[in-house]
């Protein structure tokens, strides 16, 4: 199926759009023409499978003709979102709104900007299809994605910072194929860590219509400029009591069918929501600080999960805020935990600052020493990583 349709004679804009959709689910079909057909049926009959989600018109097409076609599409195929690539003027914007155009796209926009806008238009299309295919799952043929539980036995060790950077880093591997879920239901910080103001939260997702339909669920997610989705925590800690472990399990099952990577920022400790996450998790990223309580807490956590048979298949141990002046060595940490440390993040002023600013270091391209370790963590989730010899899956970390 062609998820995106582009009609334009402009080869440079076509190149930008192809870069934008590279790695995204679904194909792009391009009609290189400086004119438009009489109606959408003339376009759709040249395609195979289901109708597309987004129709992109221009640049290089007569704006008046584009608006006429958009009006017909809005009437006959409301499940298709129309994006107009043209210079926005007050008069044109008003006409476009009346014609049902979803959004304006600057013909010179960067691929990342185009990608986010197209995904938003796709979300709008999914919302319109709610009543048309209530049990359909547009990504079901992709198989189950990887559920990555980011965990720590205690708070204050940088778990949210690692989770947001991991999600942003994975977004470069699988654009629009990553969602980060804030499961710290009382004091979650994913929204502030990514500088988001979500319209919907996890409470809406598990208690509303989205719980019955994966297609609807995707419209409850928030799109981040880095090319990922986010499902942020409740607006009030009181809402935690309304969300059960069963809700969490069902939510993750839904997301696994829609996304390649699901990064879950869990609450500290091993509460019921964390245990429900581990039942679905394929990977666990354990974060510990350079302090004895954190390290001992991790060892205890491992022991409990082994007794409960809830240890995910893949384990990744991250030592955060590493500092030789802390009085502990890497060998001390590994001896106490009883497992090798996979990634070391040196103590950094920029890392917590980036979280407070709402822009992860892997998003702004910072050369902070901790960024190198975060990129190493992201590497562990690339498809080719599993093909490495078993002895290389837990290479000894370097502590400088």
Residues 234 and 104 grouped into a single domain: no
Non-local (6+) Cβ contacts of 130 within 8 A are 209, 213, 215, 216, 219
Non-local (6+) Cβ contacts of 43 within 8 A are 5, 7, 31, 37, 55
| Domain-ending residue, one of 85, 101, 128 | 128
| pLDDT for res 130 | 53
Confidence of residue 154 (pLDDT cuts 50, 70, 90): confident
Query: What does DSSP assign to residue 399?
Result: -
Residues 187 and 108 grouped into a single domain: no
Lowest mean pLDDT among 111-120, 140-149, 289-298: 140-149
> Is 133 a member of any domain?
no
For residue range 188-202, list pLDDT tens digits in order: 889 999 999 998 999
Residues 93 and 240 grouped into a single domain: no
Residues 341 and 202 grouped into a single domain: yes
CA angle 57, 62, 64 (to 5 degrees): 95
For residue 273, pLDDT over 70 is answered with: yes
Percent of the chain with pLDDT over 90: 44
The Cα–Cα gap between 363 and 165 comes to 8
Confidence of residue 367 (pLDDT cuts 50, 70, 90): confident
| pLDDT for res 54 | 93
Residues 169 and 298 grouped into a single domain: yes
Q: What are phi and psi of 371, to 5 degrees?
A: -65, -35
> Is 359 a member of any domain?
yes
Tell me what the pLDDT averaged over the chain comes to: 86
> Is 333 a member of any domain?
yes
Residues 64 and 104 grouped into a single domain: yes
Residues 352 and 208 grouped into a single domain: yes
For residue range 370-400, list pLDDT tens digits in order: 899 999 999 999 887 766 665 455 544 545 4
Q: Which structure tokens are listed for 314? A: 């893949």
Residues 148 and 239 grouped into a single domain: yes
For 147, 149, 255, 300, 398, the CA distances from 316, given in Å and listed in that order, are 13, 10, 22, 16, 15
| pLDDT for res 248 | 95
Residues 223 and 332 grouped into a single domain: yes
Q: Which structure tokens are listed for 115? A: 């990608």
| Domain-ending residue, one of 75, 103, 128 | 128
Single pTM value for the model: 0.73
Average the pLDDT over 62-73 and give the result: 92
| pLDDT for res 178 | 94
Range of 143-147, 202-206, 308-312 with top mean pLDDT: 202-206
Residue 28 DSSP SS3: strand
> Is 136 a member of any domain?
no
Residues 112 and 147 grouped into a single domain: no
Residues 107 and 51 grouped into a single domain: yes
Domain with residue 206: its CATH number is 3.40.50.300
Q: Are 232 and 198 in contact (CB under 8 A)?
A: yes
| pLDDT for res 208 | 81
Domain with residue 86: its CATH number is 3.40.50.2300
| pLDDT for res 10 | 95
Whether the upstream peptide bond of residue 289 has omega within 30° of 0, thus cis, is no
Residue 330 DSSP SS3: helix
What is the number of domains present in the chain? 2
Residue numbers of the domain that contains 24: 2-128
Residues 90 and 146 grouped into a single domain: no
Confidence of residue 220 (pLDDT cuts 50, 70, 90): confident
């Amino acid at each position: 199926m062609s998820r995106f349709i582009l009609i334009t004679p402009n080869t440079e804009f076509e190149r930008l759009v192809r870069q934008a959709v590279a790695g995204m689910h679904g194909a792009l079909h391009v009609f290189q023409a400086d004119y438009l057909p009489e109606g959408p049926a003339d376009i759709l009959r040249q395609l195979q499978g289901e109708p597309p989600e987004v129709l992109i018109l221009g640049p290089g097409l007569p704006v008046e003709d584009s608006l006429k076609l958009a009006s017909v599409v809005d009437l006959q195929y409301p499940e298709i979102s129309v994006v107009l690539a043209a210079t926005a003027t007050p008069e044109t914007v008003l006409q476009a709104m009346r014609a049902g155009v979803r959004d304006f796209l600057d013909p010179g926009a960067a691929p990342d900007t185009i990608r986010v806008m197209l995904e938003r238009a796709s979300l709008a299309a999914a919302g319109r299809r709610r009543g048309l295919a209530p049990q359909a799952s547009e990504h079901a043929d992709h198989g189950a994605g990887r559920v990555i539980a980011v965990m720590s036995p205690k708070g204050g060790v940088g778990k949210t910072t690692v989770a947001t950077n991991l999600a942003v880093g994975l977004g470069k591997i699988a654009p629009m194929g990553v969602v980060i879920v804030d499961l710290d239901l009382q004091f979650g910080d994913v929204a502030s860590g990514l500088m988001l103001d979500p319209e919907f939260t996890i409470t809406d997702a598990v208690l509303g219509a989205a719980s019955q339909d994966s297609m609807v669920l995707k419209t409850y997610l928030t799109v981040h400029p880095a090319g990922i989705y986010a499902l942020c925590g409740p607006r009030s800690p009181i809402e935690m009591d309304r969300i059960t472990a069963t809700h969490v399990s069902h939510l993750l099952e839904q997301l696994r069918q829609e996304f390649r990577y699901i990064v879950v920022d869990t609450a500290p400790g091993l509460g019921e929501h964390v245990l429900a996450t581990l039942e679905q998790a394929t990977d666990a990223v354990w974060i510990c600080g350079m302090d004895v309580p954190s390290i001992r807490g991790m060892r205890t956590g491992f022991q409990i999960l082994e007794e409960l048979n809830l240890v995910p298949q893949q384990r990744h141990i991250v030592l955060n805020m590493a500092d030789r002046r802390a009085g502990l060595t890497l060998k001390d940490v590994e001896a106490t935990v009883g497992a090798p440390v996979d990634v070391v993040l040196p103590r950094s002023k920029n890392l917590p600052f980036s979280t407070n600013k709402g822009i992860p270091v892997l998003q702004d391209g910072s050369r902070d020493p901790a960024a190198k370790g975060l990129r190493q963590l992201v590497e562990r989730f690339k498809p080719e990583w599993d093909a490495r010899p078993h002895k290389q899956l837990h290479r000894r970390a370097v502590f400088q």
